[in-house]
Structure 1
Amino acid sequence: MPRLRNLLLAAALAATPATGAPAQELLRIGMESGPTSLDPHYASIITNIAYSRHVFQPLVQQDHRQALRPAIASEWRAVDDLTWEFRLDPRARFHDGAPVTAEDVAFTLGRAGDVPNSPSSFRVYTRPIQAVEAVDAQTIRIRTAQPTPLLPNYLSLVMVVSRKHGEGATTADYNSGKAMIGTGPYRHVSWQPGSPLVVERSAGFAGPAPAWSRVEFRPLANAGARTAALNAGDVDLIEIVPPDQYRTFAADARFTVAQSPSNRLLFLTLDSDREDSPHVRARDGGPIANPLRDARVRRALSMAINREALVSRILQGQGLPAGDLGPEGYFGTSPDLKPQPYDLEGARRLLAEAGHPQGFAVQVNGPNDRFVNDEQVVQAIAQMWTRLGLVATVETRPRGVWLSEAAQLRYSVNLAGFSPNPEVLGMLETQIHSWNTTLGLGTANRGRFSNTDIDGLIQKARQTMDNAERERLTQQATRAAIRDQTALIPLYFQVNTWAMRKGVTYEARTDEMTLATSVGLAR
């Protein structure tokens, strides 16, 4: 896809990494939202993980293109199909000066998937682990119940915490700052929900020193407020720049911009499970057997969405139409899975074939402050389905309410977004596999789609150490889920954007994290 390659090149040319930049005192970042919690294991969502990475570190970390790099572990290898070995960097120290030990790692991996009231558990990443063993002072071996080829990728999302400070600590203890003792480049200073999060550089950090002594992450949920703050000089950098403002900043010599294609897929979840779905009714408002359980109906709804129009009109070019679960070039994507062509007449015929020639009533839900122009996207989809013959209405919620209600399965159709951990298999495990608490799979399957054949392919793929065979199984499962069953409706991949005052640079990331360690100075 030439457009994707060009965006990757542009992002690489625009960015200057923070390492090596002269020290500066204060960096002020305008964020779309603050964390829902400082507990690094409370919620497996990108925003929380991004904040955690300033105070804590994983064993291995993902760079701006999501390739694995050393963090607390300086090297790692698969000893056999059931054993991974990690060598700890002897320089790694917690902020209290204590070295990182195998006990800290074992405690972390036991805690991460077992935090009470977690709305999005890390259990999917830690469940394969059976034991953590110390080989010597700097070497640990992690044994898994079955072959787990993606274990290093999984662990790149799990922040290592101190057993000394974390044992018995609650999420409230992390939120208060009491347990915020990590190994990361910054120390925690202060935070209250809705207020700036403040960190200061840690003098004892083992890695490259960050360029900024103090960082303030200022939550500015409204896109207009973020752009106004940058224009006024109240912040130095903002994320998630509205499309029209991005072009304005790019043309203004006082500012510079950065962008990168994202691995985040925006998609619609569909309640394909319940006989009586909460927001699906007959056209007259009466009860109806849930038509979303029929794969033909789900496919018709997908065919009636004009993805090119969503990207060009609603997102003003800040997106790439999607037909797969990962962007082109991601491990496990299928070259033959192209975006579903817009075909309104074909959708009408398919809907009639499924027994709904007059359509039905449906409410489309989504957030109004989470993704770029998310509310407008939801409204546009409802309008497209109205042309299909449905009575389509819209209801959007602020991020916190939306996350909670989606987790409670209160929606029939919902706009969602997810970034696979960098293989398509990550989408299959969390979004497509049947909801299964025993296996820790289907943890974000809000439509409760379920297909035993597809489940079998996913389970086999996630235990296949051979890369070529794992990719083949991943592709087979994705084709079955998207092409045959329309388990969910892929819409588009986001383009991540940042704008900053002149002299500041940002190393644009595919995972959409905004990290102070990626902010540098122009040379």
Structure 2
Amino acid sequence: MNIRILLSALAMAGTAAAQPALTIATGGAFTAMDPHFHDLSPNTALTSHVFESLVMTDTNGRPIPGLALSWQPVGSTTWEIKLRPGVTFHDGTPFTADDVVFTMGRAPNVTGSPASFGQYIRPVTRIEVVDTHTLRFHSERPVPLMPMMMTTYAIISRKNGEGMETRDYNSGRAAVGTGPYRFASYTPGDRASFAANATHWAGAPAFSRVTLRMIPNDTARVAALRAGDVDAIDNVPTRDVAQLRAVPGITVQSRVGQRLIYLYPDVGRQISPHVTDLAGRPIPNPLRDVRVRRALSMAINREGIARQLMEGLSVPAGQLMPEGALGFDPEIRPERYDAVAAKRLMTEAGYADGFALTLHGPNDRYVNDEGIAQALAQMWARIGVRVNVATMPSSMFFARTPRDENSMALTGWSSSTGEADTSLINMVATPMPERGWGTVVRASHYSNPETDDLLLRALSTLEPEARGALYRQIIRLGVQRDLAVIPIHHQVNIWATRANVRYAPQIWERTRAMEFTPVQ
């Protein structure tokens, strides 16, 4: 070996050895190392250590260069993307336009995916490779959100990805990306470990080794932080925030995020699988009646949930987007709690004696998710709806929901673009796989040609204010009027760290080593 290369390698190894390791305990259950298997925040956070997107975002969610150095519209239906030169995958293979082409062919078509990335890719009808580092994305209609769509899907290499399945990424065989960390190990349901990529195009990362531990139990996650077993945790339970703030050497940080916690009722099927009369006999689905959905919404004491259950760390919601996001409507207020009026609506709809339903949801994915489900059951009992709460680990919840077995479910969604587009596509739009619309994970069976037409117009509208006006119109129809989904609140994201690391909170919920820095 050339002596200069040897000395350089030794110096790099010494630097890496001097860097600290980082252990993060996450409350969100990640389900695969395959970056295209499941459009789920914990998965995106996990896999982004190894794989990178064309466009990245800053702490406020604004697009910044990633594997793409620049992007610009060329006419109304074409975007030209210039790729970053000199980037290599972890095995030394150069990154080129062909890898982007391969990625965009695979990502929407992963076998068994509970929630596909198709909505971000299918608007591109043709990919033109200009040269090894230049592409043009062509579409039938203008796609003003193309830069934000490019933040959502990770780029994989054709060499390491061709013929590979999700299990090959989980084993590490195909887990070869361009990211700041290299795959070390992955144990489903437990943890993943990564080693620093000293040759990363942005320079060596801050930590020599990173471990993400999945600790969905809130008490256990907080205990691990207090004991020093981990350096940081996310999804800090609201009940523990005040106590942790009083512990020397622990810092708590919070930021209102994009995450909406909401309910999706089965508004479409004549017979719904978990709705019966009070004697347990199947009945025609009462959730099809908007008066029943309105009664259920009016019976939710959102302020009480925010004050007592969330310790003030949530923002009651009557719409999909938080204040400041494109699509937020200042004229839409959260549904006012009124159990008496809700009971009148139930009587008017023909359900004076009530009915029974099962409320499904995760018990380890969102802040206080099981507690919220139990609170809803108590609130709905006051208007005659007897609720069986069936919560489960999120890995089970997301795995079973593609079978479309829910009548009412509690879940969450965070827009990947910072606008209302993906929320509307997933919650309000008629499922149309050819467009990448809809998802079986949140199937409410709602379908409205009027809102679909408005959404098509919005997704092709270049001017942000005009696009926002269309978003607001859809939300007034599909959410405020029809209650295709029932918003509860926007979640405040909370992290806690020990004194040896510093964290820069983002608007997104994702928790990644790249946002941490060691404190010397």
Length-normalised TM-score, structure 1: 0.93
The corresponding residue for 2:452 is 455
The worse-fitting range, judged by mean Cα deviation, of 312-321 and 27-36 is 27-36
**C-alpha displacement of 1:472:** 1.1
Q: Distance in 1 between matches of 2:308 and 2:167?
A: 43
* 8 A contact 1:22–1:211 mirrored in 2: no
CA gap of 1:301–1:34, structure 2 versus 1, over 3 A, is closer
Give the partner amino acid of 1:47: P
The superposition leaves residues 291-318 of structure 1 with CA deviations (integer Å, 9 ceiling, x where unpaired) of 1001111111101100011111111122
**Match in the other structure for 2:20:** 25
Equivalent position SS for 1:475: helix
Residue among 300, 321, 333 paired with 1:326:
321
Give the partner amino acid of 1:359: G
Aligned to 1:479: 476
8 A Cα contact 1:303 1:347, kept in partner: yes
Structure 2 counterpart of 1:254, one-letter code = G
Summarize the Cα distance change of 1:313–1:521 in structure 2 as closer, same or farther, 3 Å threshold: same
- Match of 2:469, as an amino acid? R
Q: How does 1:372-521 map to 2 (within 5 A)?
A: 372-421=367-416, 422-443=418-439, 444-521=441-518
CA deviation string 1:221-264 (max 9, x = no partner): 21111111111111111111111222111112221111111101
Task: Give the counterpart of 1:107 among 84, 88, 102.
Answer: 102
Cα distance change of structure 1 residues 34 and 324 upon mapping to structure 2, 3 Å threshold: closer
User: Which residue of 145, 148, 157 corresponds with 1:153?
Assistant: 148
Question: Once the 2 structures are TM-superposed, how far is the Cα of residue 34 of structure 1 from its aligned partner?
Answer: 4.7
Give the 3 Å change call, closer, same or farther, for CA 476–277 of structure 1 in structure 2: same
Could you tell which deviates more after superposition, 28-37 or 39-48?
28-37
**Residue 136 of structure 1: how far off its partner (Å):** 2.9
> 3-state SS of the aligned residue for 1:438?
helix
| 1:29–1:237 Cα contact (<8 Å) kept | yes
Deviates more, 1:44-53 or 1:240-249: 240-249
Matches within 5 A, 1:104-143: 104-143=99-138
SS in structure 2 of the partner of residue 284 of structure 1: coil
Aligned to 1:94: 89
- Check whether the contact 1:435–1:445 (CA below 8 A) recurs between aligned residues: no
Q: Secondary structure at the match of 2:401?
A: helix
The residue that corresponds to 1:186 in the other structure is 181
Deviation at 1:286, TM superposition (A): 2.0
Map 1:350-365; keep pairs closer than 5 Å: 350-365=345-360
CA distance in 1: counterparts of 2:464 and 2:310, whole angstroms: 35
Divergent runs of 4+, >4 A: none
Measure, in 2, the Cα distance between the counterparts of 1:336 and 1:264.
Answer: 20
- Structure 2 distance, partners of 1:438, 1:195, is 35
Aligned residues: 503
User: 8 Å contact 2:29–2:395 — kept in the other structure?
Assistant: no
CA distance 1:445–1:232, change in 2 (3 Å) = closer
Q: Deviation string for 1:87-117 (max 9, x for gaps)?
A: 1111322112222111111011111001111
| Counterpart AA for 1:262 | G
Q: Please state whether the residue corresponding to 1:395 is helix, strand or coil.
A: strand
* Mapped pair 1:291 → 2:286: yes
Matched-pair contact (CA < 8 Å) for 2:74–2:80: yes
1:350 deviation in Å? Answer: 1.6
Q: Which amino acid in 1 is paired with 2:458?
A: A
**CA offset at residue 63 of structure 1?**
2.1
Checking the alignment, whether the CA contact within 8 Å between 1:433 and 1:445 is kept in structure 2 is no
Please tell me whether the aligned partners of residues 359 and 391 of structure 1 are also in contact (alpha carbons under 8 angstroms): yes
Gaps of 5+ in 2: 1-15
Per the alignment, in what secondary structure is the counterpart of residue 55 of structure 1?
coil
1:269-308 residue pairs with structure 2 within 5 A?
269-308=264-303
Deviation of residue 336 (structure 1)?
0.7
**Residues 501, 22 of structure 1: CA spacing in aligned structure 2 closer, same or farther, 3 A cutoff?**
farther
C-alpha distance in structure 1 between counterparts of 2:140 and 2:149, whole Å? 15
Structure 1 distance, partners of 2:29, 2:89, is: 24
Q: Secondary structure at the match of 1:493?
A: strand
2:319 and 2:480 in contact (8 A); partners too:
no
Question: Is residue 303–residue 341 contact of structure 1 (8 Å, CA) maintained in 2?
Answer: yes
Kept after mapping to 2: 8 A contact 1:34/1:218 = no
1:200–1:213: 8 Å Cα contact kept in structure 2? yes
Report how far residue 33 of structure 1 moved.
4.2
Alignment match of 1:226 (pick from 201, 211, 221): 221
Match of 2:3 in 1: none
What is the rounded CA distance, in whole Å, between the counterparts of 1:436 and 1:402 in structure 2? 23
Shift of the alpha carbon at 1:522? Answer: 4.4
User: Kindly, what percent of the aligned residue pairs are identical?
Assistant: 42
Separation in 2, partners of 1:23, 1:317: 42
Q: Does 1:264 align with 2:245?
A: no
- CA–CA distance in structure 1, aligned partners of residues 29 and 385 of structure 2: 37
Say if 1:105 and 1:160, in contact at 8 Å, map to a contact too: yes
Does residue 1:315 correspond to 2:349, yes or no? no
Higher mean C-alpha displacement, 495-504 vs 473-482 = 495-504
Q: Which residue type is aligned with residue 473 of structure 2?
A: Q
Residues in 1 aligned to 2:285 and 2:67: alpha-carbon distance in whole angstroms: 50
Q: Aligned partners of 1:46 and 1:298: how far apart in 2?
A: 28
Is the CA contact (8 Å cut-off) linking 2:20 and 2:518 kept in structure 1? no
C-alpha separation in 2, matches of 1:257 and 1:23: 27
Find the aligned partners of 1:241 and 1:384 in 2 and give their Cα distance: 25
2:337 corresponds to 1:342: yes
Q: Contact 1:367–1:396 (CA<8 Å) still a contact in 2?
A: yes
For residues 47-62 of structure 1, the aligned pairs below 5 Å read: 47-62=42-57
Q: Secondary structure at the match of 1:377?
A: helix
Contact 1:503-1:521 within 8 A present in 2 as well = yes
Q: Which amino acid aligns with 1:133?
A: E
